[in-house]
Amino acid sequence: MWNAEQVITGGASSSSYSVFGEGTDTEAGDDEVTVTEEEVRSGTLFELDLLDCPVCCHALTRPVFQCDNGHIACSSCCTNLRSKCPSCTLPIGVYRNRMMERVVEAVIVPCPNAKHGCTEMFSYGKELVHEKECSFALCYCPKRGCNYAGLCKDLYRHYYNCSSAREYFRCGYNVQAWMHIRDKILVLQEGREGPLVAIQCFEEEQGVYVTVNCIAPCVPGVSEFSFQLSYSSYGGADKTMSFGLGEMNRIQRVCFQTPDKDFMFVPHYFLDGRTSLKMNICVRRRGEGEGEEEEEEESKKKRKHDDVLDDVPRSTR
């Protein structure tokens, strides 16, 4: 929430007025002079909370509605409240407060990452959408006990220098990803000072949940990977499973809460009482290998078509 001093930037306002000679009886139009002046006005707003919906506390966006007593609410809240004002119970959701809509759209705020180098400016409320894809968003070191935060490229360099037990991956190659369940996290780095991939496990009553995430902001073209993860029990090849995503999730900070999606689940009976996971992972940059997969698929279709033709008598072709 922005509580610091912000600038409301209003549009340029034009005013026209007529000037007549003083003390004369000149008819209008004889010595009339029309002057147009452009005046840019601005003001200062110290509490941007005033531009939030008083019901849901989110930034107001068009349309903004008001009841007959002047209480306001956003469109979503009017729907959720079944068009009854929460302050006075009068109907709300029909009449718009267009002046408040203009004020909200006139307030220009910087990106929350402005202090890290972002120069983008937005209408109030829209900066939060940009923040999720801002290339200046901070990423946090996954090493336990380390509080470092920085741009992703700086973080990768930091992790290489601060971590003594480093594990690596190479795009397009299967690498071992063995970890003790109690460790909860295994971080792989692409070579020296390359992107970081965090493999995390979460032990629950039924088994172990395993996730794979890249530590990077969700910026197009930055650390975009796919992956295939496989697990084999110590009991033999009959206990194997695999999981992959065409687009690896990107996170700015690792979280140690059990996930509700995008995970591989390993039941306890797969573990055979062991306390470690024997896994393999293949990480690819998105776009790499897709051409070969398409060619292989086309080749399979052609072979299938040829097999069908071989089964059809020539006289009926």
The pLDDT score that the predictor gives to residue 3 is 39
Establish if 155 belongs to a structural domain.
yes
User: How far does CA 292 lie from the centroid of its chain?
Assistant: 31
Backbone angles phi, psi at 266, to 5 degrees: -110, 110
Establish if 26 belongs to a structural domain.
no
160 plus 204 within the same structural domain: yes
The pLDDT score that the predictor gives to residue 272 is 80
The pLDDT score that the predictor gives to residue 220 is 86
Strand order in the sheet with 64-66: 72-74, 64-66, 95-96
211 plus 118 within the same structural domain: no
250 plus 148 within the same structural domain: yes
Give dist(CA 205, CA 78) in Å, integer. 43
Q: What is the DSSP string of 144-165?
A: TT---EE-HHHHHHHHHHH-SS
The pLDDT score that the predictor gives to residue 270 is 86
Distance separating the N- and C-terminal Cα atoms of the chain: 73
78 plus 199 within the same structural domain: no
Domain span at residue 117?
Answer: 111-136
207 plus 255 within the same structural domain: yes
115 plus 93 within the same structural domain: no
Which of 101, 104, 26 minimizes the C-alpha distance to 66? 101
CATH number at residue 278: 2.60.210.10
229 plus 127 within the same structural domain: no
165 plus 231 within the same structural domain: yes
Establish if 277 belongs to a structural domain.
yes
pTM: 0.66
* C-beta neighbour count of 104 within 10 angstroms: 21
The pLDDT score that the predictor gives to residue 30 is 47
Per-residue pLDDT of the chain (317 residues; tens, 9 = 90+): 443 334 444 333 333 333 333 444 444 444 444 544 556 566 666 678 888 999 999 989 889 999 999 999 999 999 999 999 999 999 999 999 999 999 888 888 888 888 888 998 888 888 777 877 888 999 999 998 899 999 999 999 999 988 777 899 999 999 999 999 999 999 999 988 899 999 999 999 999 999 999 999 988 888 899 999 999 876 555 678 999 999 999 999 999 999 999 999 999 888 888 889 989 999 999 876 544 444 555 555 555 555 544 555 555 44
- Answer whether 31's CB lies under 8 Å from 21's CB: yes
Establish if 10 belongs to a structural domain.
no
60: Cβ contacts below 8 Å, ≥ 6 apart:
51, 52, 53, 72, 74, 100, 101, 104, 125
267 plus 166 within the same structural domain: yes
117 plus 164 within the same structural domain: no
Q: What is the torsional sign of CA 248, 249, 253, 255?
A: negative
Which of 225, 265, 272 minimizes the C-alpha distance to 245? 225
Establish if 181 belongs to a structural domain.
yes
Establish if 231 belongs to a structural domain.
yes
Tokens of 17: 């007025």
Listed in order, strand segments (DSSP E) in 216-296 are 225-232, 240-245, 249-251, 264-267, 276-285
Establish if 190 belongs to a structural domain.
yes
131 plus 181 within the same structural domain: no
Establish if 30 belongs to a structural domain.
no
- Count: domains in the chain: 3
The pLDDT score that the predictor gives to residue 128 is 75
Tens-digit pLDDT profile for residues 31-74: 444 544 556 566 666 678 888 999 999 989 889 999 999 999 99
Give dist(CA 232, CA 239) in Å, integer. 6
265 plus 278 within the same structural domain: yes
